[in-house]
Amino acid sequence: MSSFESMSPTLSTDHWSLHAPPMYQRNYPCDNIIDVYWGTQDLTPVGEAAFKKQLYQCLLGQAIEMKSDIEARRASNEFGTVIWQLNEIWPTGGWGSVEYGTPVKGQVIGGRWKPLQYLLKRTLYTDVISTCGQSDPPNCYVKNDGPTAFTGTVTIDIVNFASGKTSRVTSNPVSLAAGAGTIQWFCAKNGPNSQCSSWAQVLAVGNATNAGEAILVITVTGSDGKVVHENELPLTTINKMTLPKPSVSFLVAADGTITLQTDQTAAFVTLTTQAQGRFDDNFFLLTPGRTTVKFIPFGPLDINTLKSTLRVEHAQLYQ
């Protein structure tokens, strides 16, 4: 599904629900995606709060499902993937990562980026990618599909949801010939003797007793110090995560810089606005403290609309 901002103007208020007549008669339901990642949900409630929850759950599920699919494909001997599809051709359910965009108030001309589109940019379609599978002990890879050789470092950190503390699991040098398809496999938490650790041992580094208490952050940095890939890797589904209840606030500067602050870890933070444009990053983990996000306008910056319509959502709001 698309965002509430895109969907709501096309529907009467009594149809603001995934199971309202115009919605369930479409052949693109999101029930299965929501059930997998959030657990079985009652999708019959109607109204603004219910619809925002349903749409966020659907958008998050789409992003994570496509993420796991593309990561698995890039781990194998496949030299290219094409996703269906880039942009929606109407404001409804579909496979697109960019919403339908017209001059209708609430929509972004050219298309608002869904969470999936931000993942494509930050991690899934970068030339160099790294992730870990669910085998035990964890088997991880870093791959170069770019046309030039790559040298740098891959690090794995584990973030404890409750404390917000980040702990380093491993740091490995990376030396990859030009791609496509150059791949280097490694173990999470390599010790002095290069033996692999179990998932339980990896979690213990972050003071987590199970997969629902933490998340991995895998970062690939070039020899020049530039981060080329950052992968926030959930270890289980949302309904099995033990998440705190953060208080998230934001401040919008005149140049479109947004300062976010939280007292506790917030997972899958998503910003949405009716202003025309996108964010330089979105759909991310927010640990205690402050971080900044830049709004990139499509045309002149409409700072008043950005300030008055900006919404911040995260998984804990709807868990």
| pLDDT tens-place string over residues 270-308 | 999 999 999 999 999 999 999 999 999 999 999 999 999
Q: Which residues contact 313 (CB under 8 A, 6 or more apart)?
A: 52, 56, 269, 270, 272
CB 33 within 8 A of CB 55: no
Residue 90: per-residue pLDDT: 84
How far is it, in rounded angstroms, from Cα 38 to Cα 35? Answer: 5
Give the domain ranges of the chain.
1-125, 126-240, 243-319
* Three-class secondary structure of residue 292 per DSSP: strand
Secondary structure letter of residue 251 according to DSSP: E
Select the CATH number that applies to the domain covering 243-319 from these four: 1.10.357.140, 3.40.50.2300, 3.30.590.10, 2.60.40.10.
2.60.40.10
Please, is 106 exposed, middle or buried when counting C-beta atoms within 10 Å of its C-beta (0-12, 13-18, 19+)? middle
pLDDT tens digit sequence for 238-272: 999 999 999 999 999 999 999 999 999 999 999 99
Nearest to 279 by CA among 114, 75, 165, 32: 114
Whether 126-240 shares its CATH topology with 243-319 is answered yes
Q: Which two tokens stand for residue 319?
A: 């868990």
Please, is 188 exposed, middle or buried when counting C-beta atoms within 10 Å of its C-beta (0-12, 13-18, 19+)? buried
How far is it, in rounded angstroms, from Cα 270 to Cα 318? Answer: 13
Select the CATH number that applies to the domain covering 126-240 from these four: 3.40.50.1860, 2.60.40.10, 2.60.40.2480, 2.60.40.350.
2.60.40.10
Confidence at 44, pLDDT banded by 50, 70, 90? very high
CB 266 within 8 A of CB 316: yes
Helix (H) or strand (E) holding 295: strand 289-297
How far is it, in rounded angstroms, from Cα 195 to Cα 307? Answer: 51
Q: What integer best gives the mean pLDDT of the chain?
A: 93
Angle, vertex CA 88, rays to CA 83 and CA 89, nearest 5: 125
Farthest CA pair distance, the chain = 64
Please, is 313 exposed, middle or buried when counting C-beta atoms within 10 Å of its C-beta (0-12, 13-18, 19+)? buried
Mean pLDDT of the 131-149 span: 92
